[in-house]
Copies of this chain bind each other. A is one copy, B any other.
Amino acid sequence: MMPAGSQTGEVASLARQTAAKGRARFRREAPEDRRRQLGEAALRCIVKHGNAGVSVRQIAAEAGVTQGLITHHFGEINELVAYAFDIMSAGLLQALMKAVEEAEPTPRKRLDSFIEASFSPILFDRDVLGVWVVFWGLVLHSPRMSASQREEYSDYCATVEGLIRDLAADEGFSIADTRLAAIAFTALLDGLWLAWCLNPASFKPQEGIQLCRNWVEGLRRGAYA
């Protein structure tokens, strides 16, 4: 209950000092590298414990460092979480784009590849949603997180919009407002992602792909003209 030794700081330090002989007691790393390690440790903690995983102590332990290091590199923990958000967001969008670029270079194949990648374990993974849900919760209460979200959502929508616009141009159908159509398609993807992760029994990923193709078919048939 009572703090063990209040005035013994220097003594303990001395003891440690003499005890340390052989090898280095910690690695000194470039701030860039350490920040990334901490960001990734934060993500692992959030995967494991959800909101409860957002804690200086847990993240430091996961990264194998002491708590003070997080303060040193990020100031306050929210900054670390925002950084982790940026890391993850960039990684996911990049993985999706990679799938698109590897597809045959027709608008149809590219969009289809985007859809399939969206329903692959890259995104369709309860752990990934678990991280995302924590981020959403913070976005609603933190201007810093909100700013990140705005930017990342914007990039994501722009990507989707490009895919849709190319398809429309290629197949010769018209869309009244491509921006809005992209928002709807993005919402459909996110909604299916959410529903499946919360309850994987509700439908199969393959059915989700079909539903997205149906949406595109609606677009083709002029439902958004």
Select one of B136, B184, B189, B192 contacting A214, CB under 8 A: B184
CB distance from A186 to the nearest CB of B (A): 7
> In the complex, which range does the number of interface residues on chain A fall in?
35 or more
**In whole angstroms, how far apart are the Cα atoms of A52 and B173 in the complex?**
49
**In whole angstroms, how far apart are the Cα atoms of A180 and B181 in the complex?**
21
| Per-residue B-contact encoding for A80-102, CB less than 8 Å = 1, 0 else | 00000000000000000000000
**B residues in contact with A149, CB < 8 Å:** 198-199
| Per-residue B-contact encoding for A166-209, CB less than 8 Å = 1, 0 else | 00000000000000110110111111101101110111000100
**In whole angstroms, how far apart are the Cα atoms of A154 and B48 in the complex?**
27
**In whole angstroms, how far apart are the Cα atoms of A126 and B146 in the complex?**
13
> Quick check: which of A15-23, A25-33, A215-223 contacts chain B, the rest being far away?
A215-223
Copies held by the complex: 2
Do most interface residues of chain A lie in helix, strand or loop, or is the interface mixed? Answer: helix
Select one of B51, B187, B192, B214 contacting A195, CB under 8 A: B187
**In whole angstroms, how far apart are the Cα atoms of A150 and B3 in the complex?**
47
> Quick check: which of A69-77, A105-113, A116-124, A127-135 contacts chain B, the rest being far away?
A127-135
Closest to A218 in B: B218
Please tell me if A49 contacts chain B, counting CB pairs below 8 Å.
Answer: yes
**B residues in contact with A214, CB < 8 Å:** 184, 218, 223-224
Closest to A187 in B: B191
**B residues in contact with A181, CB < 8 Å:** 211
Please tell me if A138 contacts chain B, counting CB pairs below 8 Å.
Answer: yes
Please tell me if A64 contacts chain B, counting CB pairs below 8 Å.
Answer: no
Please tell me if A1 contacts chain B, counting CB pairs below 8 Å.
Answer: yes
CB distance from A149 to the nearest CB of B (A): 6
**B197/A194 in contact, CB under 8 A:** no
Please tell me if A50 contacts chain B, counting CB pairs below 8 Å.
Answer: yes
**In whole angstroms, how far apart are the Cα atoms of A195 and B202 in the complex?**
22
Nearest 3 pairs of A and B residues by beta carbon = A218-B218, A187-B191, A191-B191
